[in-house]
Structure 1
């Protein structure tokens, strides 16, 4: 945080990001990499199966449905104006700068928390890949090298990092999906699995708790919106990227959950307790020697997610820095690479420092703590965007009943997701995380209140600049 800012307007240098450098493929690559589909068969599905059992596929289906409503609300705004700050700008336009600041504050925790969690997941995968060869790779070394490489790539060229992320995720989905198809080839009698389709042994309590994990599997799908200033034809490319990344990921996750239960012979308890599901899967298919290769693929996919999270976090910090909601240095752009290099460095260093601080808890616990905290940030932003979309359309005289229904359903889905994270009360220390998040958000709200009280001119100028920017890029009246 900086000292209370002086009332200055947003610099025109906000356009210094490399404009129109990204096509649709790079844009959807950002969202898919942030989702990191390969994490689901590698680690996420285990946690979901432990709670939802045979209903795991339905958890992912319901999560897809709920977040599809959110994605439609995002598309409403992303198809009308483009911005580097994505939700911060979108929500500020509809509900005012304070609400936008709250969303931005939540998303700082969301994107950096995702980077932290997936960085820990990457460490687990790297160690699983090298342990069979008797090579012990220190967790701290994986953290340092990965964070440094993510910083380097993100600060140099967004196009390169987005294309790299897309290539990694496409290859990972193809390889893992191909292996899971072999499961059905070996067990054709279980293509129609009555135990799963009838939700045998599944409880409402387990389904509710698993929904939070289901939502986390998707978080980051909206991050393509953070590339509004750098995408060609953003008013069309970004909404398409957001919706299609959700469709692809949702179908893949449901297929993964269903087929993994089949691969475990319907023993959901075994799947829910397995710390190395890919290894067990390949052993069951008679190819245990391939496990190190698959964990190496999973680690590369996890790195792509870390990279995408830092890209998204830095664009959010860039926009908030331009409007002086955070230190103005976050809004500076590298003269040569045209990237928000200070914001990139901050996101990468913060992710590394927190993971090193949690080193003693173990990588798996670090993944759980930071990922859960990040999910709360996404839920806040997704809720606010679902409220914002119909309000914005009403202001423009374009509101339809369908927009109201989609907005309500998106907001209700996020309320349900948060409720499932606090009731029934989770075990320690997860029971503390919601309160820590509330304290974090309260600190951000206090900061915004101080900003409003001590420098109200800044908020007035933000309103003016948002109006001006909309007039320049608004596409549909």
Structure 2
């Protein structure tokens, strides 16, 4: 971390990212914040119930197994490679620069979409909280102002300190998960003996297609679970801690989803599918006083805000690595001289994360639709990145003679699971705008490929560096 001027440019050398500052709890906070389990619970179970019925919990259980398979593949890299480039750098080991580029681009698009969508979710619920408190907030202007304030605050946290942003995310997620769990348990207690709902395990009037369709939505609820891997250069004991965080965050959140799905079905029954706000309905059933509702909605707003912060952290580090390698302009590959965060990469992207929902608001689109549309598009990015890194893991481990039957199984589950989710969102052709969202995503990827083709023809030195900077290895993969 030198601050001496380089002879070649006359500029101060990049100070680099702050190393060894992230403990296990802070890494887990990054993963939890990127998943936003409270926000998923508030929305997803009701949507899954429409197809899976009382087997909603089963859709979440199958999704958990698939995500654990993805996590296992990613963990094989994290055990021996600590990088700020996340899956972008991992894929380079097995798929070369082309695969690494596609992994990085799709992951950045995924993070961008999830952050922008969650900003809209936070706006929606913060507006609800303010109105619950008697502060009248309505209209497009209010949405725009709140989006700018929340987006700017998230940007500040990510630039100021990775530890600060992680701790803020951890605090917000702990608050939101605690509130959601209290409501769910209270609903079950209010049921009394009927809390044991054996009908959810009878699988009557349940079809495979219904459960599979629900599984698609359930998988979407896990995107970003592996985001701690982007903090490999800043973590303490990364080769041990990050793989554990990846696997335990997937398992822990999966169990929470299964419990939440069971509880919502037990309490609301067939009314779950028609509920506009299941958590409010469960709170009403459990007899919570009116003053509790602002607290409940604040917990959901906080969860959404945390998932604005977490993807910005990931984007900043991937784009920072790309800058150091020359994939984007080299000036982006520099950290803040004091905070040692990738401030230039963050500032290049964060304003557009704020701008996207604002443009939708100005066009007259309601906040929930903005959340769903952008979130769906961003999820495609994660799915492609997960499938690519799973294949890369198999290739590398096979090259080393360590491609066990478990590795083959998890790779197949990962790739088939992600492919099925994409297929289910394309066929049968959904209604507008969902029928065009996959093609918008693919169009954005193709636009970035133009840059890659240019680099391959004119900057072979850049291609040779892809996935090979900001990397610490520990034997094995690497």
- Structure 1-normalised TM-score? 0.92
| Corresponding residue for residue 170 of structure 1 | 174
Q: Please report how far the alpha carbon of residue 315 of structure 1 lies from its aligned counterpart in structure 2 after TM superposition.
A: 1.1
| Corresponding residue for residue 355 of structure 1 | 357
Q: Please report how far the alpha carbon of residue 153 of structure 1 lies from its aligned counterpart in structure 2 after TM superposition.
A: 0.7
Q: Please report how far the alpha carbon of residue 402 of structure 1 lies from its aligned counterpart in structure 2 after TM superposition.
A: 2.1
Which stretches of structure 1, 4 residues or longer, exceed 3 Å deviation after superposition? 11-15, 188-192, 199-209
Q: Please report how far the alpha carbon of residue 195 of structure 1 lies from its aligned counterpart in structure 2 after TM superposition.
A: 3.3
Counterpart check, 1:303 vs 2:318: no
> Residues 130 and 136 of structure 1 are in contact (CA less than 8 Å); yes or no, is this contact kept in structure 2?
yes
Shift in CA distance, 214/431, structure 1 to aligned 2, threshold 3 Å: same
Q: Which runs of 5+ in 2 are unaligned?
A: 1-7
> Residues 208 and 420 of structure 1 are in contact (CA less than 8 Å); yes or no, is this contact kept in structure 2?
no
Counterpart check, 1:422 vs 2:426: yes
Q: Please report how far the alpha carbon of residue 476 of structure 1 lies from its aligned counterpart in structure 2 after TM superposition.
A: 4.1
> Residues 21 and 231 of structure 1 are in contact (CA less than 8 Å); yes or no, is this contact kept in structure 2?
yes
| Corresponding residue for residue 4 of structure 1 | none
Alignment of 1:55-454 (within 5 A): 55-137=55-137, 138-264=142-268, 266-267=269-270, 270-289=271-290, 290-359=292-361, 360-454=364-458
Q: Which runs of 5+ in 1 are unaligned?
A: 1-7
CA distance in 2, matches of 1:185, 1:134: 31
Q: Please report how far the alpha carbon of residue 14 of structure 1 lies from its aligned counterpart in structure 2 after TM superposition.
A: 6.5
CA distance in 1, matches of 2:222, 2:466: 31
Q: Please report how far the alpha carbon of residue 192 of structure 1 lies from its aligned counterpart in structure 2 after TM superposition.
A: 3.4
> Residues 17 and 342 of structure 2 are in contact (CA less than 8 Å); yes or no, is this contact kept in structure 1?
yes
Shift in CA distance, 313/201, structure 1 to aligned 2, threshold 3 Å: farther
| Corresponding residue for residue 3 of structure 1 | none
Shift in CA distance, 412/246, structure 1 to aligned 2, threshold 3 Å: same
Q: Please report how far the alpha carbon of residue 274 of structure 1 lies from its aligned counterpart in structure 2 after TM superposition.
A: 2.4
CA distance in 2, matches of 1:133, 1:229: 43
Report Cα offsets for 1:374-425 as digits up to 9, x if no partner: 1100000010011011111123333323222221221111111111111222
Q: Please report how far the alpha carbon of residue 171 of structure 1 lies from its aligned counterpart in structure 2 after TM superposition.
A: 2.6
> Residues 117 and 367 of structure 1 are in contact (CA less than 8 Å); yes or no, is this contact kept in structure 2?
yes
Q: Secondary structure at the match of 1:38?
A: helix
Q: Secondary structure at the match of 1:221?
A: coil
Q: Please report how far the alpha carbon of residue 213 of structure 1 lies from its aligned counterpart in structure 2 after TM superposition.
A: 1.9
The CA RMSD measured in Å over matched residues stands at 2.1
Aligned residues: 461
CA distance in 1, matches of 2:258, 2:466: 43
Q: Please report how far the alpha carbon of residue 291 of structure 1 lies from its aligned counterpart in structure 2 after TM superposition.
A: 1.2
- Structure 2-normalised TM-score? 0.92
CA distance in 2, matches of 1:293, 1:249: 22
> Residues 15 and 337 of structure 2 are in contact (CA less than 8 Å); yes or no, is this contact kept in structure 1?
no
> Residues 68 and 247 of structure 2 are in contact (CA less than 8 Å); yes or no, is this contact kept in structure 1?
yes
